[in-house]
Chains A and B, each alone.
Chain A
């Protein structure tokens, strides 16, 4: 809590409906965000029970600098992922961090499960468990609307909720946050579904006077100017991440048609430029961010044959254009937006959904599965078939779709085709086939995301491939991001928040930290995550790489499986050495 030497934790138990608040001085050395959330997950986890057991905890936490400085907008969620069977960690922007901050909570721990559908309302002085039976079955946007209508606090309120996919325990169901933001990855939606928790509404309306305003404002302004007056962030507003389609496609790093190709022959039809010309209608921002990188695109849909049209708006970014575009061979921006809309309504992770469907498409072509199972003729470029298949996944239409709803790894274990089930540590791949960094990064990353250590970005900046250097950079970046995610900075602004800026920011609000402290915090958090992963049964030596990664050339040329395993060993050794050391 700002200006206090403790972390204020709200504990909610859905089974007993008990609420308690604790001021945890012992968590202060974890700063906030992912540090605090990791520690709370470690404490509350029940390793002897199933990951989806209702007793398992879900943690939400904001960071040490949340809302107080520009572009520090994220809330972290930590849980036991039903998709990978290990560490679940996901970030969302929107208004949630601001409302938690102004409601006076640094973290929330949710345990237990409700016997009937429930939603929770949280404010400064009150927490209530409310009946959500009438909401069960509603899509993410519908439930958002009804909670908005019922609950007060507009403007200072954040609403998070699950859709049918979460209710039906799809392992990669997401949680929708406010408008167009998500806890997308690793299946938090299913975990809330297992607790019968449909939505949470948070109202934050405290006023928080800033002490020592002069010092604070000076730092604030410096950061604000860096964000708004330099080109570091303007590219995120102007072109946004969809700009990536063009260079990745030209360089041979764009995963296409289940990574059978690294170049998409119709890449120009789904490029950032095409979306900007044909579909872009506005841009939005998370609360507390002067950048506004959220690109909203529109497509026209006929109400019914021969009737009028409606304009449908959805947000799009690079990862969505890859997963529901090139990866599925979709040839127009309108069709990509149609797929995004279905995923959004049902409450699925777009990246996993696209990659899972890529596997299914190829498995059908190779006769590992049949049309009787898929019910629709899945084929690259067939948008209508994919729309129906996405609905079948969310509702687990038959046995095949129930298995597909558990991810590409699980489906390939049962039906075969592991060599083209494009997962890293059981999490579906992100949109970069850039080199060894993009392969090793998410494999060793604590949550198997490209955002754990930015391996794809290291591929781009490394002039010459060097094994030692790559492993060292990944390891260093993984720890650094543990520290950044304890604040919790939007990672798009990581170049704005260098060490000097972070220290100036935190020390202007009464922290007293040094560079060495930040190193120690990063390492402490990383070690906590690794301990949790071990509790969940993870062993870094047991991961596999899908063969396809070494068949289709990457942006850096053909990759060698042996080299990948060598890099993995090197990384694992570093982890072992760190774990053997005492905490700094």
Chain B
């Protein structure tokens, strides 16, 4: 099945500068698995939304889900 991954300006360095990815997955896959397999390192993931809602990393994806990954909040 097909899901979509959106990557913001900072994290696109990990996805070869791609910001909108169409990904084919088979079987049950979690949102975090898709984000990690797209190349975003775990320590750079702040949180993930699916269809605009913040989800836990073990959220199991459904057909046509739109995943968006956000960077961690940085500062002193």
Measured between beta carbons, the chain A residues less than 8 angstroms from B76 are 451, 454, 490-492, 494
Interface centre among B9, B13, B41, B76 (most CB of A within 10 A): B76
Contact of B70 among A247, A272, A454 (CB under 8 A): A247
- Verify A243–B74 contact, CB threshold 8 A: yes
- CB contacts under 8 Å to B, within A208-249, are 231, 235-236, 238-239, 241, 243-244, 246-248
Measured between beta carbons, the chain B residues less than 8 angstroms from A451 are 76
B29 near A: Cβ within 8 Å?
Answer: no
- Verify B9–A244 contact, CB threshold 8 A: no
Distance between Cα atoms of A225 and B54 in the complex (Å): 36
- Verify A241–B74 contact, CB threshold 8 A: yes
- Verify A250–B9 contact, CB threshold 8 A: no
B27 near A: Cβ within 8 Å?
Answer: no
Measured between beta carbons, the chain A residues less than 8 angstroms from B74 are 235-236, 241, 243-244, 492
Report the count of interface residues on B (CB-CB < 8 A): 18
Contact of A456 among B41, B71, B75 (CB under 8 A): B75
Distance between Cα atoms of A514 and B2 in the complex (Å): 55
Measured between beta carbons, the chain B residues less than 8 angstroms from A251 are 46-47, 54, 70
- Verify B73–A247 contact, CB threshold 8 A: yes
- Verify B8–A246 contact, CB threshold 8 A: yes
Distance between Cα atoms of A469 and B72 in the complex (Å): 21
Summarize A's interface: helix, strand, loop or mixed: helix
Measured between beta carbons, the chain A residues less than 8 angstroms from B8 are 246, 273
**A: contact size bracket:** 20 to 34
B17 near A: Cβ within 8 Å?
Answer: no
Q: How far is the CB of B39 from chain A (nearest CB, A)?
A: 13
- Verify B70–A276 contact, CB threshold 8 A: no
- Verify A457–B75 contact, CB threshold 8 A: yes
- Verify B75–A318 contact, CB threshold 8 A: yes
Contact of B73 among A231, A236, A238, A457 (CB under 8 A): A457
- Chain A's closest residue to B69 (CB) is A247
- Chain A's closest residue to B44 (CB) is A231
Residues 255-290 of chain A, each 1 if its beta carbon lies under 8 Å from chain B, else 0: 000000000000000001100100000000000000
B15 near A: Cβ within 8 Å?
Answer: no
Given contacts A238-B10, A239-B9, A272-B10, whether A250 and B73 have CB atoms under 8 Å apart is: no
A374 near B: Cβ within 8 Å?
Answer: no
A194 near B: Cβ within 8 Å?
Answer: no
Interface centre among B9, B47, B49, B68 (most CB of A within 10 A): B9
A352 near B: Cβ within 8 Å?
Answer: no
Given contacts A241-B74, A451-B76, A494-B76, whether A247 and B47 have CB atoms under 8 Å apart is: yes
- CB contacts under 8 Å to A, within B54-76, are 54, 68, 70-76
Measured between beta carbons, the chain B residues less than 8 angstroms from A460 are 46, 72-73
Distance between Cα atoms of A285 and B44 in the complex (Å): 24
Distance between Cα atoms of A251 and B8 in the complex (Å): 14
Given contacts A231-B44, A460-B46, whether A434 and B73 have CB atoms under 8 Å apart is: yes
Measured between beta carbons, the chain A residues less than 8 angstroms from B54 are 250-251
Measured between beta carbons, the chain B residues less than 8 angstroms from A494 are 76
- Chain A's closest residue to B76 (CB) is A491
- Verify B9–A272 contact, CB threshold 8 A: yes
Measured between beta carbons, the chain B residues less than 8 angstroms from A276 are 9
- Chain A's closest residue to B70 (CB) is A247
Q: How far is the CB of B71 from chain A (nearest CB, A)?
A: 6
Measured between beta carbons, the chain B residues less than 8 angstroms from A236 are 74
Distance between Cα atoms of A251 and B49 in the complex (Å): 9
- Chain B's closest residue to A240 (CB) is B74
Distance between Cα atoms of A16 and B74 in the complex (Å): 46
Kindly list 6 other residue pairs between chains A and B, CB separation below 8 angstroms, not including A250-B70, A272-B9, A456-B73. A239-B10, A248-B73, A250-B47, A250-B68, A432-B73, A492-B76
Query: Nearest 4 CB-CB pairs, A to B?
Result: A491-B76, A247-B70, A273-B9, A239-B10
Chain B contact residues, CB within 8 Å of chain A:
8-10, 13, 41, 44, 46-47, 49, 54, 68, 70-76
Chain A contact residues, CB within 8 Å of chain B:
231, 235-236, 238-239, 241, 243-244, 246-248, 250-251, 253, 272-273, 276, 318, 432, 434, 450-451, 454, 456-457, 460, 490-492, 494
Q: Sample 25 A-B pairs with CB under 8 A, ordered by A number.
A: A231-B41, A231-B44, A235-B10, A235-B74, A241-B74, A241-B75, A244-B73, A244-B75, A246-B70, A247-B46, A250-B47, A250-B49, A250-B54, A250-B68, A251-B47, A251-B54, A272-B9, A272-B10, A434-B73, A454-B75, A456-B75, A457-B75, A460-B46, A460-B72, A492-B75
